[in-house]
Amino acid sequence: MNIGHAIRICRQGRGYTLARLAERSRLSVSYLSLLEQQKREPTLATAQQIADGLSIPLSVLIFLAASKQELTGISEQQIAHLSNAIIGLMDDTTRQQSLF
């Protein structure tokens, strides 16, 4: 599981800087940076704060963080399709928010 990579993908998909996500999730920029660099592992409560700050369900963050070996019963093609769809939805939501 690579939660740091998932956080970075979601943060960038939302167009957030580390500072913006830190503000929204009530965490420090330095802590979020350490998470993204895989130098720390968040608790479940902290992961929920981050998901809330990104305005996504925690399950989405965890799915994006999961390795292929952890997603048994799902083909690599399905994993790629789901991941791309999730990221695409985040991009669409970001674009819609910027219109208002």
**Residue 91, pLDDT score:** 63
Q: Are 13 and 93 in contact (CB under 8 A)?
A: no
- CA 59 from chain centre, in angstroms, equals 10
What are 24-49's pLDDT values in tens digits? 999 999 999 999 999 999 999 999 99
Q: What is the pTM of this model?
A: 0.78
Q: Are 4 and 38 in contact (CB under 8 A)?
A: yes
Task: Domains for the chain: give ranges and CATH numbers.
Answer: 3-99 (1.10.260.40)
Q: What percentage of the chain exceeds 70 in pLDDT?
A: 90
What are 46-64's pLDDT values in tens digits? 999 999 999 999 999 998 8
| Token duo for residue 84 | 């791309």
